[in-house]
Amino acid sequence: MITEHTLPKPLCRRGQPLRVLIVGAGGNGSAILLGLPYLHQAMKVWGHAGGLDVMLADGDLVSETNCVRQPFASADVGLNKAVVLINRVNLFWGLGWQAHPEHFHKDSLKTNSGGPHLIIGCVDTRAARLAIQSAVTRANDGTNYWLDLGNNAGSGQYVLGQPLNSANRRSSVRLRTVAELYPEIVDAEAGEDPLPSCSAAEALERQEPFVNQVLATSALAMLARLFRYGTLTHHGAFYNAETGRMSALPVDPRIWARLRHRSRKTHRRIESQ
């Protein structure tokens, strides 16, 4: 039975900005960042006077290969990704969003009393996702939501969850995070996918163009519905570029249980090989 998720009351305060931290300024992270000003403006029209207060965190520098399918120019090569993108967005939209030119780690939120309400993880390693999970599941952490985006060559997914912490108590209808539905995604001991490609041709072979934009736009559309209407009946989706299909992830505890059970079986089979 599909249930309905309701926006937590503290986030309905229309005068305060919603604090957002994007982790990763690559394909998904840059697409998310470039779409957030539209959500910021829409929320202000809907009565959320504070809109969004965004920080982008990434310690990587722009490479020549990044200029193929990410919004960087040759003049950006050698500069920090987060700084380049935040400066560009602030100049165009007249915003005061912030760049954090360092890699996220498990203690990144530990001393931040004004931490984010929403973390958007756009990382491509299990270790990086584990760092996010470790940070947002601390007992005293107040992060309300963790939105994870991930993809491979021609498919991907986005999943919005409520990590167990001081902001989100145990409940049968609490949105399960990507790490709870797919535990292998934060298993750093399982090994990582190949390192980023060194050539433009290899980059396009490993990942088709526009997958990032499809995932980011769909995830932002979901967030827009949540902050406008205060409810959701789905909290993610899976996209296949080959078939053109987008399959929603319903707010349904029975489906969550099946996904977690299936993921555990698959993980055990892989470990036994």
pLDDT tens digit string along 43-79? 999 999 999 999 999 999 999 999 988 999 999 999 9
For residue 237, the SS3 value is: strand
For residue range 128-139, list pLDDT tens digits in order.
999 999 999 998
Domains delineated in the chain: 5-272 (3.40.50.720)
Phi, psi of 156 (to 5 degrees): -175, 180
Q: What is the pLDDT of residue 273?
A: 47
Instruction: Give the residue among 86, 126, 85, 129 at the shortest CA–CA distance from 104.
Output: 129
Residue 192 has pLDDT above 80, yes or no: no
Q: 63 Cβ partners below 8 Å, 6+ apart?
A: 77
Confidence of residue 215 (pLDDT cuts 50, 70, 90): very high
The runs of H, that is alpha helices, within 47-177 are 66-69, 81-93, 126-136
